[in-house]
Amino acid sequence: MYNSKIRGPLVEGNKSLGQITREVVSPIETSPGIWWSAALGLSSLATIYGIYAIYMTVYKGIGTWGVNNSVGWGWEIINFVWWIGIGHAGTAFSIFLLILRQRWRTSINRAAEAMTVFAVLCAAIMPALHMGRIWLAFYIFPYPNTRGPLWVNFNSPLFWDFTAITAYLLISVSFWYLGMLPDLATIRDKTASKVRKALYGFFSMGWTGSSRHWIRYESLSFILGGIAAVLVVSVHSIVSTDFAVGVEPGWHTTIFPPFFVVGAIFSGFAMVMTLMVLIRKVYRLTDYITDNHMDAIARILIFISLIMGTAYLSEIFVAWYSGNQYEMFTFFRNRITGDYKIQFWGMIVCNALIPQLFWFRKMRRNWIVLLLVSLLINIGMWLERYTIIVTSLTKDFLPSNWAPYTPTFIDVGVFVGTIGLFATGVLLFMRYLPMMAISELKGVAHIGSKKED
């Protein structure tokens, strides 16, 4: 079915099964060192700033933000779209690559799924706050109520979005947890500590690794993988319709759903790369996350980057070709030139040009380049959302409605807070949960290695 002789071994170092267990479990069993506490401290500080900003937002209202009557969507929606994009890492890795039978995903999918869960949590904070009166957030649930009963508007992309993101979060968590069951049992059976034995024992739900468990586990993984494959494209398509159904110049285009989906996978893969470069450096897991893995992610990034470049060009072309003066103005006078040209060109350079470095093998093998480029891609993706939202809203059809936009201290706080929350989540995950799918690694341990040849 799958032959990886071209790609080289998926796990290097001809490891025995016991060795795989020991090496993956060791970060949980040993104390992590000073860097971990320092990082956790730093991310907790960021989270505290975020909590303060959220408190001010709820206490005083969204007047504390930089948004105004013309620019009704500011940093919070930018960040919402950005986080959801990053949240595509898990689906892209676990499901997209599962369907394509790319078994090299094995050492990466667990961490990617963890990122998805935390990124989607961060994303969900944004629209909830944006409602203004968060204590009425339950109005969005379609339940029989005393207001008519007046139902929510099922034709609105904003409601689709709510449905899609809630479902996405629940499904990602289910998929993540199911995948961890065998590994939690491994820790339960391996650990010497009584507390850990009890805790991991409780959460491993009595997994024994019997053939009856495995057959259902396999079959369930395929059901979930197959059905959730739709989510790779559906979630961000729905997010894009929030924009595309609006009549704002620069938003009202049919390119948006595929453009957003590709962008989401782009930022998801970039974030996975950032995290993997760091994990393999810090935990010395280069035998599991090999140079070949990084190479494969880098190649995917070039490909997606080319699609992004094409999408940017076709947007500009269509704006010109349409002959619509508002579209022309937005693209040529307010993006390529004008007040927001730095953000626009930053986006082009980071997303379409810099990833082309990965055409060179030397660049794909240099961890500093990998780290920098992956960070730049995510900055570029943030700038893309900034460009889309702010340029279209600041200057639309009526010049008397034009208004500038600057974020406030509170806007920045909400963003920094979510970064802190994300980092805290990832750090706790690395410390307390198996970072790689141990049982899956055992299944592919000898693929492509000398033993099999």
Interface residue list for another protein (CB under 8 A): 16-18, 20-21, 142, 148-151, 153-155, 159-160, 163-164, 167, 170-171, 174-175, 178, 181-182, 185-186, 188-190, 201-203, 205-220, 222-224, 227-228, 230-231, 234, 238, 439-440, 442-443
Instruction: Please state, in angstroms and rounded to a whole number, the distance separating the CA atoms of residues 388 and 249.
Output: 10
Residue number with CB closer to another protein (224 or 369):
224
Cα–Cα distance, 23 to 435 (Å, whole number): 11
Residue corresponding to tokens 């929030």: 242
In the complex, least distance from residue 223 CB atom to another protein, rounded to whole angstroms: 5
Shortest Å distance, C-beta 345 to another protein: 35
Contacts (Cβ under 8 Å, ≥6 apart) of 387: 335, 340, 343, 344, 347
What are φ and ψ of residue 438, in 5° steps? -60, -45
Residue type, 9: P
Q: How far is the CB of 60 from another protein (least distance, A)?
A: 33
Which one, 25 or 383, has the nearer CB to another protein?
25
Which one, of 323, 312, 378, 314, lies nearest residue 345 by Cα?
A: 312
- What's the closest the beta carbon of residue 422 comes to another protein, in angstroms? 24
Q: Can you tell me the distance from the alpha carbon of 284 to that of 292, in angstroms, rounded to the nearest whole number?
A: 15
Q: How far is the CB of 246 from another protein (least distance, A)?
A: 13
Beta carbon nearer to another protein, 205 or 255: 205
All residues at 6 or more sequence positions from 409 whose CB lies less than 8 Å from its CB, including other chains: 53
| The two three-digit tokens of residue 169, written as one number | 């979060």
Q: Which is nearer to another protein, 198 or 349 (CB)?
A: 198
Decide whether 158 or 318 has the Cβ nearer to another protein: 158
Identify which of residues 122 and 164 has a Cβ nearer to another protein in the complex.
Answer: 164
Copy the structure tokens of residue 311.
Answer: 């999408």
Q: Whose Cβ is closer to another protein: residue 202's or residue 432's?
A: 202
Q: 432: which 2 tokens?
A: 């307390």
| Residue whose CB is less far from another protein, 23 or 384 | 23
Residue 11 phi, psi dihedral angles, 5° rounding: -125, 125
The dihedrals phi and psi of 339, each to the nearest 5 degrees, come to: -65, -25
Task: Identify the CA nearest to 137 among candidates 171, 162, 172, 168.
Answer: 162
Contact in structure between 263 and 381 (CB atoms under 8 Å): yes
Q: How many CB atoms are located within 10 Å of the residue 322 CB?
A: 12
Q: Write down the least CB distance from residue 277 to another protein, Å.
A: 28
Please state the separation of Cα 387 from the chain's center in Å. 20
Least separation in angstroms between residue 12's CB and another protein is 18
Q: How far is the CB of 332 from another protein (least distance, A)?
A: 31
Q: Minimum CB separation from another protein for residue 205, in Å?
A: 4
Q: Is 446 helix (H, G, I), strand (E, B) or coil?
A: coil
Cβ distance to another protein smaller for residue 7 or 442 = 442
